[in-house]
Amino acid sequence: SAVISQKPSRDICQRGTSLTIQCQVDSQVTMMFWYRQQPGQSLTLIATANQGSEATYESGFVIDKFPISRPNLTFSTLTVSNMSPEDSSIYLCSVVGGRNTDTQYFGPGTRLTVL
């Protein structure tokens, strides 16, 4: 299985500010995804992070609010911009590919609280 780390693990931020979350994988992977999980809810896909090109966003999510970078096959960042309390969620990075091309593995998540 892929080993995925995320930084930071948690943060408390003021509204109007931005936070960048990093996702690092221990092996090269085909696909990387970013999810949001609001309190008590299931996971919602924000976007697919594409290596060397713009991310593919799901309906309801836009690049200005959630810019994503993926400079190589093992690393990606998600920025939550101009935050409001509604952005308080767990943000999860996931990957598919590498040693196992079927299974989707998840990072430990970043718990974000916006005041």
Partner 1 sequence: SQQGEEDPQALSIQEGENATMNCSYKTSINNLQWYRQNSGRGLVHLILIRSNEREKHSGRLRVTLDTSKKSSSLLITASRAADTASYFCATRNFNKFYFGSGTKLNVKP
Minimum separation from the CB atom of position 48 to partner 1 (A): 7
Q: Which of 2, 83 has the CB closer to partner 1? A: 2
Minimum separation from the CB atom of position 69 to partner 1 (A): 20
Distances (CA, A) of 40 to 5, 34, 43, 44, 54: 23, 18, 10, 12, 30
Q: Which of 8, 108 has the CB closer to partner 1? A: 108
Q: Which of 12, 16 has the CB closer to partner 1? A: 12
Q: Which of 69, 111 has the CB closer to partner 1? A: 111
Question: Residue numbers of the site for partner 1 (CB under 8 A)?
Answer: 1, 4, 31, 33, 35, 37, 39, 42-45, 48, 58, 90, 92, 94, 102-109, 111
Helix-, strand-, coil-residue percentages of the chain, each rounded to 5: 5, 55, 45
104: which strand partners?
96
Pair 80, 19: CB distance under 8 Å: yes
